[in-house]
Amino acid sequence: MSREALRDFLRAVEHHQGLRRDAAQCSDDDQLLALARRHGFNVIQRDLRDDARESAITSWFETSRIQRSFQSAPFQSNPSQSTVSQSTAPQPPKT
């Protein structure tokens, strides 16, 4: 529930100039958490840490070659749905 509170707090900061100004004046996480609590948001230190970790992972996937390869070639879990038939599949050279 507190992760939802963090999202709500961040949304409030984006939309309210006074709150945004107050958040910009916070010099550390403790001050930011105190500001959130003063405005009725139940945010804890773990929420900030989890959000930072999630953001780093998201950023990595946005720039990763892995993501692009998954987007370009959809995964097919059922072999019968393969687009290459047995008769047209390349055969190993005969020796």
Please give the pLDDT value at position 47: 85
Q: State pLDDT tens for residues 57-72.
A: 888 878 877 755 555 5
Q: Which of 51, 45, 8 is nearest to 29 (CA)?
A: 45
- Of residues 30 and 87, more confidence is placed in 30
Residue 85: pLDDT band with limits 50, 70, 90: very low
The model's pTM is 0.56
Segments making up each domain of the chain, as ranges: 2-69
pLDDT in tens, 2-46: 678 888 998 999 999 999 999 999 999 999 999 999 999 999 989
